[in-house]
Amino acid sequence: GSTSQLARMLVRRGASFCGPAICDISVIDLARVSSAVEDPDLAPWLEIVQDFNKVHWACESEDVTLLVSLLRSDSVTMSDICGLDGCATTPLNLVLHPEKFPLLFPRKPVELDPFVTSDSSVNKIVASNPSMATLLTLATGTWHPRAHHIFPASFRRTVVLVLCVAQRLQTREHRRSIKVRSGNEKVNCNGLPIEIWMQILSFCGRDDW
């Protein structure tokens, strides 16, 4: 109904409903009573989303553009994605296992080819946006050139600075290289190669800078 749709819209736009209970009745309890006939899914839906952050909502709305923007900002930490603060429903779980959240991702059963063998389930749920799953998986791992664009802005700046300095040092040391006349052998007094610096950076996660 219109009331429950309004309630969902307000919650998606940041309205808080987790404040002190009024007369010992929480907003969720009130929704459970008032929407029992009109929208029985409202109260369970509120229970699921009550701890949602902005990354959750980007995943719930399947907004890839918004998710990328959040991941590239300095405001999203590992706990916002993996729920290290105790949130049971994490953004990563939403996109990797949407079948566990039918109230958030209602899907019709897959229309299976009649010639497909019986190994497939008729009630198999279509996965949530697969590109979002890839983005969050990369964003929660350690740094890699492939994941660079979805790491925080401060992290990306630091990586560029480290690699630029490493390249500068390597170039300068290369000019001081010592040539040893033993066949075609050449010994350099170079600093660490760029590849080694990239290997070092690959041990760092998004919260390290």
Q: Vertex 80, ends 79 and 84: CA angle to 5°?
A: 30
pTM of the model: 0.72
Q: How many CA atoms lie within 13 A of 150 on its CB side?
A: 23
- What pLDDT score was predicted for residue 120? 39
Which of 96, 4, 2, 102 shows the shortest CA–CA distance to 48? Answer: 102
**pLDDT for residue 194:** 87
Give the pLDDT confidence score for residue 113 in this predicted structure: 42
Short-list 136, 114, 112, CA closest to 122: 112
Place of tokens 């729920």: 83
Q: Dump pLDDT digits (tens) for 95-110.
A: 888 888 888 887 644 4
Spell out, as residue ranges, where the chain has pLDDT lower than 50: 108-127, 180-182, 189
Which two structure tokens, joined as six digits, stand for 126?
Answer: 């279509």
Cα separation, 53 vs 115, whole angstroms: 43
pLDDT of residue 6: 77
What is the rounded CA–CA span in Å between residue 36 and residue 40?
5
Query: What does the alpha-carbon distance between residue 207 and residue 204 come to, in Å, rounded to a whole number?
Result: 8
Helices 130-139 and 64-72: angle between axes, nearest 10 degrees: 10
Residue 25's pLDDT is 56
Sign of the four-CA dihedral 64, 68, 71, 75: negative
pLDDT of residue 157: 95
Rounded distance, CA 23 to CA 26, Å? 8
The span from the CA of 91 to the CA of 7, in Å, is 22
pLDDT at position 21: 52
pLDDT at 51: 83
Q: What pLDDT sits at residue 119?
A: 40
Across the strands, what pairs with 145? none
Compute CA distances 26 → 6, 166, 201, whole Å.
18, 57, 47
Which two structure tokens, joined as six digits, stand for 86? 């105790």
Write out the H or E segment, with its range, that includes residue 33: helix 27-34
Is 162 in a helix, a strand, or coil? Answer: helix
